[in-house]
Structure 1
Amino acid sequence: MKALAPLVASLLFGLCSAVTAAPITLKVAHFLPPSSPGHKDVIQPWCEAIKADSDGQLQCQIYPAMQLGGTPAQLLNQVRDGVVDVVWTLPGYNPGMFPISEVFELPFMTTTAPASSRALWDFINDYAQAEFADVKLIAAWISGPYQIHTRKTAVRKLSDLAGLKIRAPSRLSTRLLSALGATPVGMPVPQITEALSKGVIDGAMAPWEVLPATKAHELTQYHTDVVKGRTLATSTMVLLMNPARYHSLSPELQAVIDKNSGATTSVWISEQFAQADAVGLQAAQERGNEIIYLTTTQTERWEAAALTVTEQWIQQMNQQHKGAELVKAARSLVDKYTKK
């Protein structure tokens, strides 16, 4: 029995060490302030979920508003290089890096955020896995529909956009604004406030949810949207994890990350943004701003003008892929989940 004592003590010490192992803290970074819906309603609850599901073994240190330095466009490299463990970012901030999944940013492609986000997740798994080969894709979703928010000019018809300098979030929205007659000015969300306040831009293309965090509803008077159905434009968003960090976790903790990843998580995130859109719209209404919904005829004119953006995208994709088939597949998936 005495000979077994050291072995028993060793086993007990190992067991106690495992039980009392220090929590693993993941560095989570994004580009918006702590007051934003993305921080409060998505990142924080996601972190709380993995903490609860891991009995406290997984925790987050969140760095909003690019607190670790760099620009929103550099978040992709930060998570690839392991500077941070998890990021929320927009693929559109890195033009050309996600050419296939970019199809969901084509004008008049998407419908509701939950349905289109479910479609996006399936589409990536069917056609665009290679674009995310060097990261772990936790979730992929679309923002709410984009409206055009203007300072001094009410946009009621296509010709009202002529010459207006409008913030564009991505290369496809840049092409769309040009096709509609506006002058696009590319910039990420955090720059909208200063650009509007200084008159660098006449308006911004953005979803309702970003208005309160950027104070854009205080800096604009008019908000123009198309009639219900397909959205004018949107952006794809992703939650990404450094793959080496993921694989460094125990199988049990990897399972916790997996539980909080995938199609269900993507749809849940999109629902939080949809709720935030309602809050942003209400904020604009409470200030007495004018909400303009285009007539069906005007919407059809905008859609006709935007066709060149889709056609150009198909032609460029045809150099390596079958662009028309990708558009057809994306629309089919959007229709599939919209009808449910």
Structure 2
Amino acid sequence: MNYLAMTGTLVSALSLSSMASAQEYTFRLHHLLSAQAPAHSQMLVPWAERVKELSGGRVDIEIFPAMTLGGAPPELISQVRDGVVDLVWTVNGYTPGLFPRSEVFELPFVYVNDPVATNLAMYDMFDEYLREEYQGVEVMFLHVHAGQGIHMVDDLIRTPADLEGMRMRIPTRTGAWIIEALGATPVAMPVPDLPQALQTGVVDGAFIPWEIIPPLRIQEQTEYQIEGFDRARFGTTTFQVSMNADRWAGLPEDIQAIFREASNREWWAHVGEIWRASDDFGINMAVNAGNTHVTLTEEETAAFQVALEPVVERWVAEVDGLGIDGAALVAAAREAIAANASDM
């Protein structure tokens, strides 16, 4: 019996030792939305599990949602650059002007309605056009959401003139330019603050995708969800999952290769599919709650396109001043999106 007890103790010790050695690398990933948001449950958690599986359990990524490690959403990029956390998922536009080249994919009618094609375009263009602006981090993947639809508390919008004088929430500076071009007043705020802003009349509506409806219960604060013909949207938002550059540089090549495989081109495309499906789920929830889903006609959508072309021109002039050929970047982005267009 003593021999069996000693053997059992030895086996348990060896097992614990094996488990400890198997998990060699632990990373903390910080982000702004709740654990119920699709970004967390359908994208970040599966990606972390993908890394862990490919590493044979050597890598573990602990995810901290809803800013539980402290700070405000606009501070996420500085947190990862400074090494406060290892990884972040964040909105590029929360730090205006920091990622000017990537903004091209947010522009209205550069981005139209296809997150898969846009993610793949960013993948294909990353090394040549985008990498240099991601100083201090190593990008795991970039993505967009399904695009900005119009959510209104109680005003039906069918023409650009209908938005004149309205106060509208938007997360990015390009989004603010969209609102200004339509004669409305942009109100910047992180998306978790939106429900209260709608309830208290701080804003009359918002430019956000449908996918945010369920986690923030936007259907309870709005009456109308409005989009263009053939799912056309009014620009989009770029996001990044990035690692601290020093942490990345300190990893052995085989672990780096695992992160690269987990974040390969197929994954960037899959992320687009996740956001499209989440968007469809969100609008169905709003309709089932009694909200009105408005699809503009082709002619009505064309009127918005005309009204928003100055936003593209403004962006080109802005980045030209930074030494970036904005017109060439717009042309390259449109070409790459078209080349990757998916059958939605």
TM over 0.5, yes or no? yes
Contact 2:54–2:262, Cα closer than 8 Å, also in 1: no
Identity across matched positions, percent:
36
Q: Is the 8 A contact 1:136 1:240 kept in 2?
A: yes
Counterpart-to-counterpart distance in 1, 2:53 and 2:27:
14
Structure 2 CA distance for aligned equivalents of residues 251 and 198 of structure 1 = 52
Query: Could you tell me how far apart the structure 2 residues matched to 1:30 and 1:302 are?
Result: 33
- Measure how far apart 1:161 and its partner are: 0.9
Q: Structure 2: how far apart are the matches of 1:155 and 1:187?
A: 22
TM-aligned CA deviation for residue 243 of structure 1: 2.0
Whole-Å separation in 2 of the counterparts to 1:242 and 1:43? 17
Partner letter of residue 75 of structure 1? L
How far apart, in 1, do the equivalents of 2:303 and 2:36 lie? 37
Is 1:327 the equivalent of 2:327?
no
RMSD, aligned CA:
1.8
Residue deviations 1:154-207 (CA, integer Å, cap 9, x gap): 112222111111101100110111111221111121111111121111111100
Deviation at 1:123, TM superposition (A): 2.1
Q: Counterpart of 1:76 in structure 2: which amino acid? A: I
Aligned twin of 2:75: 74
Query: Which range is displaced more, 157-166 or 35-44?
Result: 157-166
Are 1:180 and 1:306, in contact at CA under 8 Å, matched by a contact in 2? Answer: yes
Distance 1:73 1:268 in 2: 26
Name 1:166's counterpart in structure 2.
Answer: 168
- Corresponding residue number in structure 2 for 1:233: 235
In structure 2, what residue type is equivalent to 1:83?
V
* 2:189 matches 1:175: no
Q: Residues 168 and 20 from structure 1, CA distance in 2 versus in 1: closer, same or farther, beyond 3 angstroms?
A: closer
Matched residue, 1:87: 88
Q: CA deviation at 1:307?
A: 1.1
Q: Is the 8 A contact 2:116 2:342 kept in 1?
A: no
After TM superposition, the structure 1 = structure 2 runs for residues 127-166 of structure 1, keeping only pairs within 5 Å, are 127-166=129-168
Question: Does the 8 Å contact 2:142/2:268 carry over to 1?
Answer: yes
Letter aligned with residue 91 of structure 1: N
2:289 to 287, 290, 305: 287
Report if aligned partners of 2:168, 2:204 keep a CA contact under 8 Å in 1. Answer: yes
Aligned ranges 1:1-340 → 2 under 5 Å = 20=21, 22-110=23-111, 111-228=113-230, 230-319=232-321, 320-338=323-341
Structure 2 gaps of 5+ residues are 1-13
Count of matched residue positions in the alignment of Structure 1 and Structure 2: 326
Give 5+ residue unaligned stretches, structure 1: 1-12
TM-score (norm 2): 0.90
Contact 2:22/2:57, CA 8 A, preserved across alignment: no
The verdict on how the C-alpha distance between 1:162 and 1:123 changes in structure 2, with shifts beyond 3 A counting, is same
Quick one: which amino acid aligns to residue 30 of structure 1?
A: H
- Cα distance between partner residues in 2 of 1:61 and 1:323: 38
- 1:27 CA drift (Å): 0.3
- Whichever residue aligns with residue 328 of structure 1, its letter is A
Taking a change above 3 Å as real, the CA distance of residues 229 and 286 of structure 1, as seen in their structure-2 partners, is closer
User: Which residue in the other structure is 1:8 paired with?
Assistant: none
Partners of 1:254 and 1:123 lie apart in 2 by 21
Contact 2:23/2:57 (8 A) holds in 1: no
Shift of 1:17: 7.7
Cα deviation, residue 21, structure 1: 5.2
The aligned amino acid for 1:312 is R
Residue type at the aligned position of 1:310: V
CA distance in 2, matches of 1:323, 1:115: 20
Alpha-carbon spacing, 1:22–1:310, altered in 2? closer, same or farther (3 Å) = closer
Q: How far apart, CA to CA, are the structure 2 residues paired with 1:66 and 1:19?
A: 28
- Deviation, 1:18, is 10
Give the superposition deviation at 1:231. 3.1
1:250 maps to a residue whose letter is: P
Question: For the residues of structure 2 that align with 1:18 and 1:190, how far apart are their CA atoms?
Answer: 38
Which whole-Å CA distance do the structure 2 matches of 1:174 and 1:83 have between them?
Answer: 30
